[in-house]
Amino acid sequence: MHAVVLVGGFGTRLRPLTNTIPKPMLPVGHEPMIARLIGRLARGGVTDVVLALGFKPEPFMEAFPDGRCGDVVLHYAVEPEPLDTGGAIRFAALHAGIDDTFVVANGDVMTDLDVAGLVAAHRRHGAEATLHLIGVDDPSAFGVVDLADDGSVRQFVEKPARGTEPSNLINAGTYVFEASVLDRIPAEQRVSIERDVFPLVADAGRLFGYSTDDYWIDAGVPDFYRAANLDLLSGKRAHESAEAFAPGAIVDPQATVSNTLVGAGARIAAGTTVVDSVILPGAVIEERAQVESSLVMGRVGADATVIESIIGADGVVAADDHLAYSTLPDLD
């Protein structure tokens, strides 16, 4: 079975990390999140993945030089300009000649969903499109559904104003589509699958939901990107885990590092305290610095303090400085 994976967004909410690395290529548990996602699709029966690319396609091609990720064959569909989610799905599916039931996934979703279960539910309902659904406390930042008892979606609303959500069941970003969904997407223009297409399929009575309580995180925002990493240390994931220090991480024995992932080539000096953080490949934490609940790709100088901050590849915290609830370099 084919899957289209959406990986062409700008990753704005993860800047400045995404100034140098596209969001789906950022590591989760020392592997690009896209590799973990493709592994999960493969476990569910997907053999071919079409990467719907736009912004910065090269890093993806360089990461998988033989055109495979594990046993999965990769196809690259590079949009001439951003077509939004629906336009990108249509462009990628036509590029790969998809004409049968296929899977679609948002490139930033980390979940333990069994994709084969989603496909089986889709077939059971005779659906045109089936969405994976998850219950959350605050649904307003997501697509939200009103689900009927027979599993059909009565209403789909993308990012409703807080207080107006029809339920707490959200679109979890993994779908099964019949090829006929492609006919509902106008050619060569920006189309949102969530705003422009799902409501039409719902009105036709052919949109279904498959609700599970699997582990699920949209790693496209800083706190959840950090959580997606830390959750691999704490054994929260059904099929996946990670070591705290990647092979090639350089951690001084005199450093205190807890509940933190340290990537290959990152260096943590003596006397530092690093807690609840993700130290990405290439980062440097100098002597006696303290880092808490942060994402670091750049450099933290000696005796500096960093709390709940994001430091991009070009970010440097000067020695003795204090940085809290900020990003470096600044976002403009």
How many CB atoms are located within 10 Å of the residue 95 CB? 16
What is the widest separation between alpha-carbon atoms in the chain? Answer: 63
Using DSSP's 3-state secondary structure scheme, residue 299 falls into strand
> What x/- string results for residues 128 through 167 when contact with ligand GDD is judged by CB under 6 A?
--------------xx--------------x---------
- Residue 141 vs 148, nearer CB to Mg ion: 141
Residue 22, token pair as written in the block:
């596209």
Q: Which residues bind Mg ion (CB under 5 A)?
A: 108, 218, 220
Is 52 a binding residue for ligand GDD by CB under 6 A? The answer is yes
Dihedral of CA atoms 312, 244, 218, 165 in degrees, nearest 10, equals -110
Considering the complex, what minimum distance in angstroms separates the CB of residue 95 from ligand GDD?
11
| Annotated catalytic residue, options 23, 56, 159, 236 | 159
- Residue 106 vs 212, nearer CB to ligand GDD: 106
The listed partner (ligand GDD, Mg ion, none) that binds 52, CB under 5 to 8 Å by sort, is ligand GDD
Which residues, numbered 172-201, are part of the site for ligand GDD (CB under 6 A)?
A: 172-173, 194
Stretch that binds ligand GDD, among 1-9, 232-240, 292-300, 322-330 (CB under 6 A): 1-9
Cα angle 51, 211, 72; round to 5: 25
> Would you give the DSSP letter of residue 24?
G
* 159 belongs to the catalytic site: yes
Instruction: Using alpha carbons, list the distances in angstroms from residue 216 to 174, 199, 211.
Output: 11, 24, 12
Considering the complex, what minimum distance in angstroms separates the CB of residue 294 from ligand GDD?
22
> What x/- string results for residues 218 through 237 when contact with ligand GDD is judged by CB under 6 A?
x-x-----------------
Q: Counting beta carbons within 10 angstroms of the beta carbon of residue 188, is it exposed (0 to 12), middle (13 to 18) or buried (19 or more)?
A: exposed
Judge whether 101 and 3 are in contact, CB under 8 Å: no
For the chain, give the number of residues: 332
Question: Among all residues, which ones are annotated catalytic?
Answer: 159
Give me the residues that bind ligand GDD (CB under 6 A), please. 6-9, 52-54, 79, 82-85, 88, 106-109, 142-143, 158, 170-173, 194, 218, 220
